[in-house]
Chain A
């Protein structure tokens, strides 16, 4: 059903820390690696070894430069995947019922065997979180690794999304954002986590943590030594040498 379920108490999602992300693309690779072999059609690549390769990804990492008013510019790496919105426009526009939001945990998924590949849901998503697979002709999107997080065959520490498990800097956090006491919710509260494009009224579950405030560039501890005014005998010598 493409009607949205009533807001669920449990809201599984990601919290992405823009302060720690180093833009290594490990989550992109882990995501593609995991989702290539389990849930639904594999993520195809077209012309993979040719001159214009192009493929389906569920997670992409951008890099932006921010120029503050009066400080040095800053590079910020920015992972972008489905935000599992509470008010998901990609769900209600779907004519077939293939696009749905789970009532129990809020994960937004696509039932690929019902998807006609019309692409309307990708048009409705402001965040570019959906890509139509050129090979399978069905819509692909982040599944929040639904086949990992509830998977009893995996070791406990692996029951988190592939991107979270792989991130070398711990910039990706997974948890229940519907529970104000959860670790992710507390992190959001502490760090001032925010929504992307709130003007689109999608009520994203995923949150982004802003880069921490950087101090002014610190002067070197040796800096004072560079401009020593010699006094006494050394001063006399200094003045004498300057004469030559």
Chain B
């Protein structure tokens, strides 16, 4: 699949934002006054900024509000609802924290659950697609949730918890790479089943339907850069997981230390998300004898 920068930016940043909001709402860190304002502001900024970035790739963004109508069937619509509800439900929690007022923990807990539900909905947009076997698996929501929790934990300075999440994330990434490589073959779609001609003999493309490119090929048959896959996988696991984990455990949680850890984590997260798209093979490629 084509790794659109706006979608990569959106999923990484908003995921981190919702993870941060969830941990703040659970009272993971208890910043007061200005610190609280900065923390919550960062959470809201990342979440909202990410959501805005996601509208950049729409053909007709002016109608984006219509995307709230089909929550009964569409994960994209559910994601819209979950994100807006989360931002509303957490507003009083954020205000209470900034003003130093107390609020029953029930508010924070439900808001945190909604924030994680939002991340889950985002992941399910991809995980639901039978057409992309690499995504169509439970590991996809697990990865997205671990990214959110690791990012959020680094930003709140939750050391032990953050380190555990980071290590789990590394394991999940490793598993998703290994499992993903065989996913397409395992699904069983071949040029023979796509054309139905497989029973007659071995099928190969003789001539494509057009000599130029088209939307399908640009969007779903992305092959550039696969040669960098190995290196990027290492960067993803090191950056997102293995480097931040010891920093969280062994270096005192000073703000600049956390900032460095967050940047390293983000580099890994962007590499991982780029791979998530670039490595994903869509079955439509079979018709073009390329996937």
**Residues of A with Cβ closer than 8 Å to B?**
1-3, 18, 28, 52-57, 60-69, 71, 73-76, 78, 80, 89, 91-98, 114-120, 122-128, 131-134, 136-139, 194-201, 208, 210-211
Chain B residues numbered 191-222 whose CB sits less than 8 Å from any CB in chain A: 191, 193-197, 199-210, 212-216, 219-220
Q: Is the CB of B67 within 8 A of A80?
A: no
A18, A73, A128, A211 interface centre (most CB from chain B within 10 Å)? A128
Q: Is the CB of B188 within 8 A of A137?
A: no
The 8 Å CB contact of A66, one of B80, B203, B214, is B203
Q: Is the CB of B60 within 8 A of A134?
A: no
The 8 Å CB contact of B130, one of A116, A133, A201, is A201
Name A23's closest neighbour in chain B (CB-CB): B207
A95-B70, A96-B67, A116-B66 known, 15 other contacts, Cβ within 8 Å: A60-B210, A63-B207, A65-B205, A66-B202, A89-B130, A89-B131, A93-B73, A96-B70, A116-B58, A117-B60, A118-B76, A125-B284, A136-B59, A197-B189, A199-B189
Q: Is the CB of B207 within 8 A of A131?
A: no
* Alpha-carbon distance between A133 and B216 when the two chains are bound, in angstroms: 11
25 CB contacts below 8 A, A to B, read A54-B215, A55-B212, A57-B214, A62-B195, A63-B206, A64-B197, A66-B200, A68-B200, A71-B201, A89-B130, A95-B68, A117-B58, A118-B58, A119-B57, A123-B131, A123-B282, A126-B130, A126-B131, A126-B284, A128-B216, A132-B59, A137-B59, A138-B59, A199-B187, A208-B196
B52 on the A face (CB < 8 A): no
Q: Is the CB of B195 within 8 A of A115?
A: no
The 8 Å CB contact of A116, one of B61, B193, B208, B212, is B61
The 8 Å CB contact of A75, one of B72, B196, B206, B284, is B206
Q: Is the CB of B187 within 8 A of A3?
A: no
Q: Which residues of A contact B199 (CB under 8 A)?
A: 210
CB distance from B237 to the nearest CB of A (A): 27
Q: Which secondary structure characterizes the binding site on chain A?
A: loop
CB distance from A129 to the nearest CB of B (A): 9
Q: Which residues of B contact A80 (CB under 8 A)?
A: 209, 287
Q: Which residues of B contact A134 (CB under 8 A)?
A: 215
CB distance from B233 to the nearest CB of A (A): 24
Q: Is the CB of A128 within 8 A of B284?
A: yes
Q: Which residues of A contact B187 (CB under 8 A)?
A: 199
A3, A61, A62, A132 interface centre (most CB from chain B within 10 Å)? A62
* Alpha-carbon distance between A66 and B195 when the two chains are bound, in angstroms: 11
CB distance from A20 to the nearest CB of B (A): 15
Q: Is the CB of B215 within 8 A of A94?
A: no
Q: Which residues of B contact A53 (CB under 8 A)?
A: 212
B99 on the A face (CB < 8 A): no
Instruction: Tally B residues with Cβ within 8 Å of A.
Output: 58
* In the complex with contacts A89-B130, A123-B282, A97-B201 CB distance below 8 A: no
Q: How many contacts A-B (CB < 8 Å)?
A: 201
Q: Is the CB of B74 within 8 A of A95?
A: yes
**Complex interface bits, B60-88 against A, C-beta within 8 A gives 1, otherwise 0:** 11011011111011111100100000000
Q: Is the CB of A74 within 8 A of B66?
A: no
* Alpha-carbon distance between A201 and B187 when the two chains are bound, in angstroms: 12
The 8 Å CB contact of A126, one of B76, B125, B189, is B189
Q: Is the CB of B201 within 8 A of A94?
A: no
Q: Is the CB of A92 within 8 A of B189?
A: no
The 8 Å CB contact of A197, one of B75, B76, B194, B205, is B194
Q: Which residues of B contact A73 (CB under 8 A)?
A: 201
* Alpha-carbon distance between A155 and B216 when the two chains are bound, in angstroms: 36
* In the complex with contacts A80-B287, A126-B283, A97-B70 CB distance below 8 A: yes
* Alpha-carbon distance between A230 and B202 when the two chains are bound, in angstroms: 46
CB distance from A90 to the nearest CB of B (A): 10
Q: Which residues of A contact B189 (CB under 8 A)?
A: 126, 197, 199-200
Q: Is the CB of A124 within 8 A of B200?
A: no
B234 on the A face (CB < 8 A): no
* Alpha-carbon distance between A201 and B1 when the two chains are bound, in angstroms: 22
Q: Is the CB of A122 within 8 A of B215?
A: yes
CB distance from B159 to the nearest CB of A (A): 39
CB distance from B47 to the nearest CB of A (A): 19
Name A65's closest neighbour in chain B (CB-CB): B206
* Alpha-carbon distance between A168 and B75 when the two chains are bound, in angstroms: 44
* In the complex with contacts A92-B74, A120-B125, A132-B215, A61-B209 CB distance below 8 A: yes
Q: Which residues of A contact B193 (CB under 8 A)?
A: 196-199
Q: Which residues of A contact B197 (CB under 8 A)?
A: 18, 64, 66, 76, 78, 210-211
The 8 Å CB contact of A125, one of B72, B131, B203, B206, is B131
CB distance from A177 to the nearest CB of B (A): 16
Name A136's closest neighbour in chain B (CB-CB): B59
Name B214's closest neighbour in chain A (CB-CB): A54
Q: Is the CB of A200 within 8 A of B74?
A: no
Q: Is the CB of A116 within 8 A of B59?
A: yes
**Complex interface bits, B121-145 against A, C-beta within 8 A gives 1, otherwise 0:** 0000100111110000000000000
